[in-house]
Amino acid sequence: MKIILFLLPLIARSSQLTLSDCGTEARRPQVTDISVQCGTSSIGLAIELCPVIYTGYNDTLLILNHMMDPSCRATLDDSVSPPVARFNFPLNMTHACGSIFRTTSAAGTGIFSDFSNIQTVNISGVVRSIDPTTGTITYNAELKYYYSCAYPLEYLINNTQIDVSASSIAIKDNNGSFISTLSMELFSDSNFTRPMKIPNLGIELRTSVYVEVKATNLTGQYHVLLDRCYASVSPQPTNSSFFNLFVPCSKDRFTTMIENGDSQSARFRFPAFRFIEQQNETVSTYYLHCITRLCEISTCSAFKQCSNRRKRSTLDTSADGISKTYTITSSEIVTKADTSESKEKPLAAGEEDDSAVGLGVAVGVLAFACLIAFSVSAVFYKRLRN
């Protein structure tokens, strides 16, 4: 975050607030006079108004990106102390009050180190003062409040002050995240209408698990694209056994992709399995994780091409990488360690194996037949001798 300020004290002119209303807040602006809220659907700006009045302006003379539209103008909020001028505008390319959208790409780091193209969208603009002075000269310093919100599109500052004699400039950089709009849910049907209920004894092996990752209240220019989904025996996959359901350009043969990168929902299906290391336990418990990309509609098709994505073969278990990622994780999945139909099921105490019983009967019949044959032979032999 950088704040650059220089201001000249002037007589205030405001139809709504006066210097007497400001009390001790009637002062030169400071680096903390502007705040930026980078929300998931809108950006909010709050500028302390008393320093603006002290400089010679009021809230009606603060203009966002040269936009005179009433919806883009400031509103006075004197319910807080000190009072502020508030701006709020939606995260929508077609109506963001003149904000500039720039998407940048860079190689991934940490858990994303195997991805060659990680995108970030930067939304920026400026609030300027309009000098009401007429004539050849003015004694009013120009006010400029620059704002910037950076949103990473892949989901697993020092302050500097410079004094300038010609104008007053405040620059505020901030980071936002769309992670709060994303959710994962498990379903038991192909229509994704019945949430999956997992009993205490677990679900049967090979039961179809339907997974949906969706965005709610997300600005319309982005779609959801799953880059990688994997299962691990721990909710925190660091130093944990894991299994990749799919990675860029490759997937397990039993995983079926249903929808990915085509809307604000991504869906896939996989059959329930168990981890071999849990074979001595009654049930096998594991967690599903998905690294999720939010791609602009015009670029989603490009990210589906293998030339733009690199296959991931191992899990980066760096502590820093894990803690800084935006990964969506499911609730626990529990499967039965063995099914009743399994051919490898061991015999319980008192149970008889049908094949063993059949073999015993066959041996008994054969022995009885041999005994009769021996008796008949002995009778004929005795008669012949007589």
The encoded tokens of residue 48 equal 């302390």
- Vertex 141: Cα angle to 136 and 143 (nearest 5): 125
- pLDDT at 162 (0 to 100): 27
Amino acid 50 reads: C
Residue 317: Cβ within 10 Å count: 13
Q: What secondary structure letter does DSSP report for 305?
A: S
Average pLDDT over residues 69-97: 88
The encoded tokens of residue 342 equal 């399994």
- pLDDT at 360 (0 to 100): 61
Average pLDDT over residues 78-100: 88
CA distance 316 to 112: 8
Give the pLDDT confidence of 358-373 residue by residue, as tens digits. Answer: 556 565 666 666 667 6
CA distance 232 to 29: 52
Give the pLDDT confidence of 256-265 residue by residue, as tens digits. Answer: 999 999 999 9
- Vertex 22: Cα angle to 2 and 141 (nearest 5): 50
Q: In the CATH hierarchy, which fold is given to the domain comprising 180-336?
A: Immunoglobulin-like (2.60.40)
Q: DSSP 3-state assignment of 74?
A: coil
- For the ranges 271-285, 305-319, 320-334, the lowest mean pLDDT is seen at 305-319
- pLDDT at 169 (0 to 100): 59
Which of 42, 113, 120, 99 is CA-nearest to residue 296?
A: 120
- pLDDT at 267 (0 to 100): 95
- pLDDT at 86 (0 to 100): 95
- 46: pLDDT strictly greater than 90: yes
- pLDDT at 348 (0 to 100): 40
- pLDDT at 383 (0 to 100): 62
- 194: pLDDT strictly greater than 60: yes
Output the CATH code of domain 19-177.
Answer: 2.60.40.3210
- 176: pLDDT strictly greater than 60: yes
143 vs 365, higher pLDDT: 143
- Looking at the chain, the domain(s) classified CATH 2.60.40.3210 span 19-177
CA distance 92 to 104: 18
- pLDDT at 158 (0 to 100): 22
- 320: pLDDT strictly greater than 90: no
- Looking at the chain, the domain(s) classified CATH 2.60.40.4100 span 180-336
Arithmetic mean of pLDDT over the chain: 74
- For the ranges 58-67, 143-152, 245-254, 332-341, the lowest mean pLDDT is seen at 332-341
**Do residues 122 and 96 make contact, with C-beta atoms less than 8 angstroms apart?**
no
- pLDDT at 359 (0 to 100): 56
Band of the pLDDT at 79, cuts 50, 70, 90? confident
Q: Which residues contact 292 (CB under 8 A, 6 or more apart)?
A: 154, 155, 182, 213, 224, 225, 226, 227, 266, 326, 327, 328
**Three-state secondary structure readout of 112-145:** HCCCCCEEEEEEEEEEEECCCCCCCCCCCCEEEE
